[in-house]
Chain A
């Protein structure tokens, strides 16, 4: 049973994903099976009690009653134990899977993790793992019981009286044949049903999410129409399903209800007892255990549905775990960089095997201590260049050298002690501000932290916080503006003091008053480092030692500001646009500023 897998070969089934806790689950299922047997025997014991009473009226049937009590208690205890075991196994499985997922995330290419999105990954780790719980914890004992109980009942019935067993079985078989008819086209209908449901969910999400934006346009008529159409499609689908399968499924449920079996057993049994062809006690035993046979099989249906539902979560978990980790050199062959230079040698890159080339044969060199600016229109590849250095991805062709060593030939820790990053999206942990700055140098004394914060222009606002450097930050901490958060991450980079610095769009989102402080902070950070910065605000990079201009994945131009302007090519155009955007003023026609705005041409 444990090796059962779903049709898609690569994705593990519910049983396979339980492998880490397999032993405990098996134990739980074993206990549940024992419990089912004990209940059955308890009913048998009750029949025995009545048999004793018939045989020796007026005498206490001690043995039977004691057995019935003991077996009932045993069944009850075993069931409880089974559920406890399966629940503990499920909790353990959750922990194991979450641990594996988080360990794995620490090794996969970061770019992949970013593409998936932190929210989606967190959802997989939290919700999808949790979705397994219902099956693993609640259903495995039921599963065992749903198999064992009918089987044992069946055997017991045949042992007791073959005629009654035959009758009970016949009712059951008839019920399942009708049920089979009802479910005949269910796979196809199920697929259509799921599709209709998905459309409804998509429409709902769109309808609710877009509402604030949409209401400013059309009071939601358009989206409402879309929502309405999805609902109608769903209504139509479900109604059709009921019409198609309704009668048969209703009929089969009416038959599989214990009452018909009971009726048949009563009629036949009464007739047999009347003719003295059946002992009343045997009849009683059959009545006690027989009528519930159909009932105990019905859970199999809903369990099957549950397995299908769990499959979706399993697939998502599997997808993460199946992503190959980034190759890392073994400790012996790992090399250390010689200096703080960065060199790209004919680097080409594509995100997926058959995706478009994002970078094409890019070669450049950034000597130690120099400032290199990466510019170009959006989608030109400059951010990709910045993110290849810390190995968010690995290059498709060519190589990237840091200090003369291929980044793939370095231990990740070595690479990371060479390079510091300041990215657009600042992230603070829910630790104190001091610990957030200390990240990467956990043993740094507070004086160093304060010095770094001062250099990052963050000291003043930190001191103004209720608990100063001990103020908790992050989601669960105090509210900090985007600019303030950014200065904390800059302080972090200053404290890390690594020879190479990669900056991505560092000043894009700051408001004016913060921006000045941010710029001062960056100046302090960049002092004496090999800097590679992605920039849109061209004025900040006029003085760069080298400006690399990217266009459609190629390195189009390289040089200093004046040289590039003189070439009247890509950079000159970018600069022109930049100047224009800088001087744009709304309603500018009325203003004296207009004189300064160069005549624009349509793009």
Chain B
């Protein structure tokens, strides 16, 4: 949770400005030329503004020292013209925002990122943290990039304007010019150089936040248990300690984290005092005109505000840099490679050939030398303890990821050679948890076959035993899922997902514990729906309750990522192995009787 709210961990790495520039232009895609022009325009505007300010010393000289009306007017006019040019340039450069280029750019970028999400291996998406990052990224692309021009403008005025002024000052008084040149422009490189050190303070605070966050979550999750045990006070004490600790770390972090601002502000104030003192000294020595000193003071004091604002916005720069990095990282994920030539299976038996598979984020292999054949138009059951690798088998078939070794074949064709949309069309899956969209029931079923007529959808719903409860809903098939929210029971949701599978009419069906979380009444209906779904298909089912799959054509017992036993129910029972043990354990449970039930009680 804290991972999302604290970009601190990300801001550790300091991207060189040149790299940020390149990333920025890459992210602008088709708008890159305009963006580049805009950014250059802003830089030019800042430079011209510097030139305008550089008119002040000669202006003051003309007016105060020389009392030269012509020169005074000339410098005033020059300054005004330069100021206007700067304004026009900036006006034009900001057009990237105001003409809608930036909006169009973020729009295209989001579309592109969305398309990328559809191509990248599903394994990547199933990681919860990755999911969070992706949704934050897609949600905030515009927020992060919309500040780009504002920030660029700030950087330009804080950095380029003083440099131009300093350069222009060199011929008038090289000493003051040099002092300016050596102080103000150095702020930004100085800040960036010191930033990793500041990051340590931030990281400490982020870590404390993560811990408190975990403690808070534990407290809210454990609340029922705590209150039942009357221990909320004690845990509360612990939470309190954690909160106090956080506050302590925050205070330390504040001292460290305040440093970037401290350094920049110190250098800034110091530089201004230095210029003032040096200027006064030169003036007292008689080597600097007082008028020039006055003008330089006016100009230098103008630098303070843009710099201060810039310091305040450095965090936004961090955010933008982090967003750009995430965007690049997401776009860099390669979709699973396709084998050529593309092939389409003609039959639908499934074969796993000596498959090894390891999850990218897992520790240890999920499947090891898994080798099995699931004949077409038959029912194959995968059984085994949790974590044995049953779900991984089905995921590899659906190509959420590719195995590191071995092959997965459908009808003799390597799944890697089947075009993704074709592979998709071959397989229907019904899972324990059903995702329904905030749309009508009709649309929720139809998503399995976008062109389906209302009649087809209804036929599928009937076959999945959904029709009756759907017609009882306030607006029937047009009822929006969001409007009835939690009112659909687990069984009803499950039947809608079966209706989807019905409509899709794929030759291979995967059932992953479809009835585990249901109550008895729903279960019967779901079972009937499943019976209708699996007719004449290649069915792969994962089930804990062994009696459900006793009639399977082939039972595959999986443990530790490998195939331990396979055969029909009767054969496996006779073999007296692993399956037999599981079956006996379940049989014992069935015969369980309540203890302590003694005498009939009256209501």
Contact = CB atoms under 8 A, between A and B. Distances in A.
Nearest to B516: A509
A531 to B, nearest CB: 7
Given A212-B126, A263-B83, 16 more contacts: A102-B240, A105-B220, A122-B216, A216-B428, A218-B450, A235-B103, A235-B104, A242-B103, A270-B59, A370-B598, A442-B231, A516-B589, A536-B519, A538-B520, A581-B523, A586-B379
Interface stretch (B8-16, B170-178, B242-250): B242-250
Interface in B212-231: 212-214, 216-231
Contact of B273 (A72, A123, A543): A72
Contacts of A94: 243, 246-247, 250
A2 interface: no
Contact of B220 (A92, A118, A267, A371): A118
Contacts of A49: 276, 280
B139 A378 contact: no
A125 B223 CA distance: 14
A524 B594 CA distance: 10
A274 B72 contact: yes
5 contacts: A58-B284, A122-B221, A246-B98, A585-B549, A602-B528
Contacts of B548: 584-586
A127 B5 contact: yes
Contacts, number: 474
Contacts of B234: 442
Contacts of A258: 302, 305
Nearest to B120: A211
A367 B596 CA distance: 13
A171 interface: no
Most buried by A among B115, B131, B435: B435
Interface stretch (B24-32, B189-197, B286-294, B351-359): B286-294
Nearest to B243: A95
Contact of B465 (A211, A227, A603): A603
Contact of B294 (A50, A228, A370): A50
A596 to B, nearest CB: 11
Most buried by B among A46, A94, A526, A538: A46
List the 6 shortest-distance A-B pairs measured between CB atoms, nearest first.
Answer: A591-B551, A440-B229, A118-B220, A587-B379, A545-B601, A585-B551
A544 interface: yes
Interface residues of A toward B: which range? 35 or more
B224 A60 contact: no
Contacts of B244: 95
A54 to B, nearest CB: 6
Most buried by B among A220, A232, A367, A413: A220
Contacts of A524: 595
A468 B251 CA distance: 39
A586 B2 contact: no
B468 A209 contact: no
A340 interface: no
Given A95-B246, A215-B424, A110 B224 contact: yes
B216 A43 contact: no
Given A87-B254, A577-B524, A259 B52 contact: yes
Contacts of A164: none
A246 B421 CA distance: 45
Given A416-B227, A540-B592, A587-B379, A259 B86 contact: yes
B586 interface: yes
Contacts of A296: 305
Contact of A84 (B254, B531, B586): B254
A586 B138 contact: no
Given A72-B273, A371-B597, A429-B218, A284 B298 contact: yes
B94 interface: yes
B34 interface: no
Given A58-B286, A586-B379, A580 B524 contact: yes
A371 B64 CA distance: 104
Nearest to B449: A218
Given A208-B134, A512-B545, A201 B139 contact: yes
A44 to B, nearest CB: 11
Most buried by B among A49, A102, A114, A543: A102
A250 B594 contact: no
Nearest to B553: A587
B332 interface: no
Given A72-B273, A475-B214, A102 B431 contact: no
B456 interface: no
Contacts of A370: 598, 601
A291 B539 CA distance: 78
A584 B527 contact: yes
Interface residues of B toward A: which range? 35 or more
A529 B549 contact: no
A76 B447 contact: no
Nearest to A269: B63
Given A98-B243, A270-B59, A295-B305, A242 B218 contact: no
Given A99-B243, A122-B213, A206-B437, A65 B64 contact: no
B386 interface: yes
A102 B524 CA distance: 43
A222 B447 contact: yes
Contact of B118 (A205, A224, A542): A224
A418 to B, nearest CB: 11
Interface string B505-525: 000000100011101111111
B269 interface: yes
A470 interface: no
A504 to B, nearest CB: 11
B219 A216 contact: no
Nearest to A111: B224
Contact of B91 (A46, A250, A364): A250
A455 to B, nearest CB: 12
Most buried by B among A106, A260, A423: A106
Given A216-B398, A284-B298, A369 B582 contact: no
Nearest to A558: B603
A57 B65 CA distance: 13
A585 B539 CA distance: 13
Contact of A210 (B126, B435, B594): B435
Most buried by A among B125, B229, B434, B593: B229
B340 interface: no
B361 interface: no
A511 B1 contact: no
A467 interface: no
